[in-house]
Amino acid sequence: MGDIAWHRKDLLSIYDLESEEISLILDTAEEFKKVSERNVKKVPALRGKTVVNFFVEPSTRTRMSFELAEHRLSADIVNIAADSSSLRKGETLLDTVRNIEALQIDLIVIRHSAPGAPMLIAKNISCGVLNAGDGAHAHPTQALLDLFTIREKKGRLRGLKVTIIGDILHSRVARSNIWGLLKLGAEVTLAGPSTLVPRDFEKIGVRVCHDLRSAIEDADVVNLLRIQHERQRAGFFPSVNEYARFFGLNETTEKYLKPDALVMHPGPINRGVELASTVADGPRSVILEQVTNGLAVRMAVLFLVAGCMNK
């Protein structure tokens, strides 16, 4: 009694988790958030553990957030970037991580452009593996910090209407968010051009909408995704300006929102494309709080996963 059901040495995707496990992470993160608000912003929970941050695909904010979370848990840290790793010399991914394992590393935080890379690693080595983003597949800690922020602001997730706007097709953030929101009882709407938000998504129990106003007018939360310019070059939409006019949240379209709707963005923002500065810096925006909460959520998952090592 009193001991919780967390038995995973890895955090690979939100899809794998039971709703109770997601709630447990969010509850645990609440206490870790307080650690960063103290004068002494550090606890000894991971003292003596070594974490490798293995970012095969470049990342600034997620890597920094994980690294700071590890520091605040007193872990020892090694950073490996793709261009400095032996992957460039032709070493296979599994050989690289087996070398990491041979150095008695406890946890690997990995970002990779290939979907499934973290799963492949987790199956083959005894270290704990945390997925920091794999291709268009999953970005579990981003979804967890989004869920945490919504729950903190709205007091609940069940029954809330959450709209995700943008390039859903190529987005691991969207996929992880969709699974997390559905598991915790929220209603999900996806919006954007039909080339980037195919109707197929309806099969998993979400609403697909190609009209911005109808997508956001009764939403409790609007989560905007970064529009990448290379998608225009690949022909998914005619121009960035046209995208901004039809799907951007700006002074005009913000009027469709409920007064207490939250505006979220995983960053980095394309100001003037998916989100105008007046909205990004306005009263509905919780974008910087998402960043703060990301640290707490990553401390929580590192703590929970580390607790399941050596078994």
Binding another protein (rule: CB under 8 A), the pick from 7, 123, 158, 213 is 7
> Which residue number, 114 or 308, has a Cβ lying nearer to another protein?
308
Q: Name the minimum Å distance from CB 298 to another protein.
A: 14
Alpha-carbon span 146 to 273, nearest angstrom: 21
Q: Considering the rule CB under 8 A, would residue 157 count as an interface residue with another protein?
A: no
Given a contact cutoff of 8 angstroms between Cβ atoms, the answer to whether 222 and 261 are in contact is: yes
Q: Considering the rule CB under 8 A, would residue 283 count as an interface residue with another protein?
A: no
State how far the alpha carbon of 238 is from the alpha carbons of 10, 203, 274, 275, in Å.
41, 27, 15, 18
> Which residue number, 27 or 211, has a Cβ lying nearer to another protein?
27
Q: Considering the rule CB under 8 A, would residue 5 count as an interface residue with another protein?
A: yes
Binding another protein (rule: CB under 8 A), the pick from 37, 40, 104, 233 is 40
Q: Considering the rule CB under 8 A, would residue 18 count as an interface residue with another protein?
A: no
Burial (0-12, 13-18, 19+ Cβ within 10 Å), 260: exposed
Binding another protein (rule: CB under 8 A), the pick from 22, 26, 46, 129 is 46
Q: Where are the beta strands (DSSP E) in 17-143?
A: 50-55, 76-81, 107-112, 128-134
Q: Considering the rule CB under 8 A, would residue 125 count as an interface residue with another protein?
A: no
> Which residue number, 18 or 242, has a Cβ lying nearer to another protein?
18
Q: Which stretch binds another protein (CB under 8 A): 97-105, 238-246, 269-277, 299-307?
A: 299-307
Interacting residues of 230 by C-beta distance below 8 A, sequence separation 6+: none
Given a contact cutoff of 8 angstroms between Cβ atoms, the answer to whether 42 and 74 are in contact is: yes
Binding another protein (rule: CB under 8 A), the pick from 78, 103, 288, 308 is 308
Q: Considering the rule CB under 8 A, would residue 245 count as an interface residue with another protein?
A: no
β-strands 107-112, 128-134 pairing: parallel
Tokens 């400095």 belong to which residue? 84
Q: Considering the rule CB under 8 A, would residue 34 count as an interface residue with another protein?
A: yes
Given a contact cutoff of 8 angstroms between Cβ atoms, the answer to whether 174 and 166 are in contact is: yes
User: What is the contact surface with another protein in residues (CB under 8 A)?
Assistant: 2-7, 24, 27-28, 30-32, 34-35, 38-40, 42-46, 49, 73, 303-304, 306-311
